[in-house]
Amino acid sequence: MATPARTFLAYQHDAHLHTLETVVTAVHPFTSLGESDRQLFKDGTENHHAVITEKTIFHPQGGGQPSDTGVIKGPAGTFTVTAVRMTNDGQVLHLGQFESSTFSPGEIVNQEIDVDERLLFSRLHTAGHVLGAAVRHLLEKEIENFDELKASHFPDSAACEFQGAIEGKWKDEIQKRLDEYIAAKMPVQVEWWDEDDFKAKGLERLIPDRSLVLPGEKSRVVNIVGAEVYPCGGTHVDTTDLCGQTSVKKISRKSGNSRVSYVVK
């Protein structure tokens, strides 16, 4: 059986695209999806469908960022997108419900994301990277075995996790460094690197697992110019000041690791 074509992730190349014309490649009732794909959606029901298109501007949940929502409009009706996920073979599943008629493969449709929601998610994601950079530059040599682990950029649970015990006394210093980076209006640039690029910049520690990068392809990185570089597939604002007011909520510690939570306003 031929491997299904991967969905082209248009948002990774131009995060300012809020609408996109594309072609439907498949429409599946939710109940007809394979078990592994059904498990991607905790709220999927028999009333839902999954639409696959050649290209998408909808960011699927992953990398700590929530999925976009919005609508897909076709010749005979509208499909409301409530959740988006990516399958193991690189297809993006848009989960939602049709208002009337379903789409057919080959139909040209128009995608429209919720712009305000996308902006919030982009601000949160960039702010998380800025926070990570602030903590690294401030504490990398102060905390034994320091490293950045993972992050959540969800509105109600935004936080960055680090290896090493960060004491509460650092909260004000972290906030100060974070404020400096945001006020500096640092450019946030999307770049595409191969392993040689990482090595040339002394960032071998950031080289992604080879299994995550297809042969002949480069890794997408987000370069906060003057601060840090992060391999990242998410959406971002153009400069750090566009994160808006970002506040460190608290620092918690467990099993030798630390969690720094934050909010944007």
Each residue of 65-112: pLDDT tens digit? 999 999 999 998 999 999 999 999 999 999 999 998 999 999 999 999
List the structure tokens of 136: 């690294």
- Is the pLDDT at 217 greater than 70? The verdict is yes
56 dihedral zone (left: phi>0; alpha: psi -120 to 50; beta): beta
Mean pLDDT of the chain: 95
pLDDT band for 265, please (50, 70, 90 cuts): very high
Asked if 193 contacts 202 with a C-beta cutoff of 8 angstroms, the reply is: no
The β-bridge relationship of strands 19-29 and 246-254 is unpaired
What secondary structure does DSSP assign to 8-76, as a single string? Answer: EEHHHH-TT--EEEEEEEEEEEGGGS-HHHHTT-TT--TT-EEEEESEE-PPPSBTTBPPP-EEEEETT
Question: Using one digit for the tens of pLDDT, what is the confidence trace for 10-20?
Answer: 999 999 999 99
φ/ψ of residue 261, rounded to 5:
-90, 155
Cα 167 from Cα 238, distance rounded (Å): 32
- Is the pLDDT at 141 greater than 90? The verdict is yes
All CATH 3.30.980.10 domain ranges in the chain, comma separated: 118-264
Question: Using one digit for the tens of pLDDT, what is the confidence trace for 144-172?
Answer: 999 999 999 999 999 999 999 999 999 99
- Is the pLDDT at 244 greater than 90? The verdict is yes
> In the CATH scheme, what is the code of domain 118-264?
3.30.980.10
List, in order, residues 6 or more apart from 3 with CB less than 8 Å away.
89
All CATH 2.40.30.130 domain ranges in the chain, comma separated: 8-113
Asked if 56 contacts 8 with a C-beta cutoff of 8 angstroms, the reply is: yes
Asked if 46 contacts 130 with a C-beta cutoff of 8 angstroms, the reply is: no
Give me the mean pLDDT over the 177-184 stretch.
98
Asked if 208 contacts 231 with a C-beta cutoff of 8 angstroms, the reply is: yes
- Is the pLDDT at 1 greater than 70? The verdict is no
| The one-letter amino acid at 51 | V
List, in order, residues 6 or more apart from 173 with CB less than 8 Å away.
138
pLDDT band for 3, please (50, 70, 90 cuts): low
List, in order, residues 6 or more apart from 230 with CB less than 8 Å away.
129, 132, 206, 221, 222, 224
Question: Looking at the domain covering 8-113, what would its CATH class be?
Answer: mainly beta
Give me the mean pLDDT over the 189-212 stretch.
89
The β-bridge relationship of strands 108-113 and 70-74 is antiparallel
Q: Which of 220, 224, 249, 236 is nearest to 124 (CA)?
A: 236
Position 2 scores a pLDDT of 58
* Residue 68: Cβ within 10 Å count: 25
In the chain, the percentage of residues whose pLDDT exceeds 90 is 91
- Is the pLDDT at 4 greater than 90? The verdict is no
pLDDT band for 213, please (50, 70, 90 cuts): confident
- Is the pLDDT at 116 greater than 90? The verdict is yes
Residue listed under structure tokens 């909808």: 58
Asked if 220 contacts 231 with a C-beta cutoff of 8 angstroms, the reply is: yes
